[in-house]
Amino acid sequence: LVAGALVAVIMIWRGAAHEPPSEPEHRPPLAADSATLPLASVAELPPVREAQLSAIGGPPVTTATRSAVPPPPIAPPAQARGPATAAAAAEAPFLRQLAPELQRQLPELAVTIHVYSPEESQRILFINNREYRRGDQVQEGLRVEEIVPEGAVLSFRGERFKLRRPF
C-alpha cells in the first residue's frame, strides 16, 4: 500500500516536471510608467503652482540665492613627511648594520605587519604581533620614530635604525 502511494506521488511529480511552462502574462504598460512616457510629454506638463502645493500640504515655493561669499578653500593634505624627516629616515642604518654590541642589547624585533599610507594617521606597525604607531615605546628605551614605506625607523638609546617591512 505504501509502495503504491509512493509510485503514484512520483508519477504525479514527474508528470508536473514535464509540463511546458505557461506563457507569461502580457500586461500593457501603465500610463504612468515613466519609462514609457516620451520625454516631450514630461516637458509639456503644466507647472505646479503654490496654491496646488498648499492644497496637498506641500511647502511653499521659495527661491534660493547663491551666497556672494565663496566657501573657504579646501586645504591640501599636509605633507606626511617633511624633507628633513625623509632624509633622516634614509640616513638611518638597518638593524643588521648596527654595532654588534648594540644589536645584542636589543630584544628580538620582528615586523609582522607594516601598513604605510601617505596619511600619517593610517600608518600601522606590528612588531612581534603587537600594534605600534609613530611615537610609541616598544619597551624601555626603544621607540618607534617613523613608519616609512620600506619599514620603520626606531631609536634605542639615541641610536636610530631601520627595520625592514615584511615581504
Query: Among the listed ranges 77-81, 95-99, 147-151, 156-160, which one has the minimum average pLDDT value?
Result: 77-81
Question: Model-level pTM?
Answer: 0.48
In a domain, 45, yes or no: no
Which domain range does residue 104 map to? Answer: 98-164
Whether 58 shows a pLDDT value over 70: the answer reads no
Residue 38 within a domain: no
3-state secondary structure of 154: strand
Q: Is 122 a member of any domain? A: yes
What pLDDT sits at residue 54?
55
Residue 1 lies inside a defined structural domain of this protein: no
Give per-residue pLDDT as tens, 17-49.
555 555 555 565 555 554 555 555 555 556 656
* Domain presence at residue 128: yes
Residue 20 counted as domain residue = no
How many domains does the chain fold into? 1
Residue 58 included in any domain: no
Confidence band, pLDDT 50/70/90 cuts, at residue 77: very low
What DSSP assignment string belongs to 41-100? HHHTSPPPPHHHHHHTTPPPP------SSPPPPPPPPPPSS-HHHHHHHHHSPBGGGS-H
In a domain, 42, yes or no: no
